[in-house]
Amino acid sequence: MSDLQVAGNPLTVGTAIPGFSRTSDIIQQFLYNAVLYNAHRIHFDTPYATEVEGYPGLVVAGPLLGDWLHQCVELWLGDEGRLVRIQYSNRGAAYTGDQLHVGGEVTAVDPDHATATLTLWVKNDAGDTLVPAEVDIVLGERR
């Protein structure tokens, strides 16, 4: 068993990463994509997204989903460590108004180096994993 802890709880393989649920709306999509200089109309123009591109609604920006994965880790770690690597892949589309769920678990712990690997995900209400991710953290280092 590892002596590593997060929030006073032992850090072991299988430890759940507390997650959260988010729902994006048209205002968030417009502003988020403006900051990214992403002018793709599928993120803010409903008639274009539905009638021209054939989506059922406005598409949630993939980088926003990646940001939510990052936030999930940061909220869990607090000041007890830092995220050193994140790799994610957008495998399915999410649409404004969808309730999305972010969470994960610890999949590897290296107590000698105070590091751990996490598997994270963004899922929709149907339980489909839209965005799988792998994250490496180091404990005992502040951001």
Q: Could you report the per-residue pLDDT of 129-140, keeping only the tens digit for each?
A: 999 999 999 998
Half-sphere exposure of 69 (CA within 13 A, CB side): 28
Q: In which element (H, E) is residue 81 found?
A: strand 81-88
Domain that holds residue 102: 5-24+61-139
Q: What CATH number is associated with residue 125?
A: 3.10.129.10
Kindly state whether residue 46 falls inside one of the protein's structural domains.
Answer: no
Kindly state whether residue 16 falls inside one of the protein's structural domains.
Answer: yes
Kindly state whether residue 79 falls inside one of the protein's structural domains.
Answer: yes
Q: In which element (H, E) is residue 18 found?
A: strand 16-23
Please determine, for residue 1, whether its predicted confidence score (pLDDT) is greater than 70: no
Backbone angles phi, psi at 105, to 5 degrees: -155, 160
pTM value is: 0.91
| Whether 132 contacts 92, CB under 8 Å | no
Kindly state whether residue 13 falls inside one of the protein's structural domains.
Answer: yes
Domain count, the chain: 1
Kindly state whether residue 43 falls inside one of the protein's structural domains.
Answer: no
**pLDDT-derived band at 115, boundaries 50, 70, 90:** very high
Cβ neighbours of residue 96 under 8 Å, at least 6 residues apart? 24, 25, 26, 29, 57, 58, 60
Please determine, for residue 42, whether its predicted confidence score (pLDDT) is greater than 90: yes
104 or 11, higher pLDDT: 104
d(CA 102, CA 23): 11
Kindly state whether residue 42 falls inside one of the protein's structural domains.
Answer: no
Kindly state whether residue 120 falls inside one of the protein's structural domains.
Answer: yes
Q: Give the pLDDT confidence of 15-34 residue by residue, as tens digits.
A: 999 999 999 999 999 999 99
- Per DSSP, the three-state class of 77 is helix
Helices (H), the chain: 26-35, 46-47, 62-77
**Matching residue, tokens 């993939």:** 62
C-beta atoms surrounding 74 within 10 Å: 14
Kindly state whether residue 9 falls inside one of the protein's structural domains.
Answer: yes
Give the rounded distance of the alpha carbon of 96 from its chain centre. Answer: 16
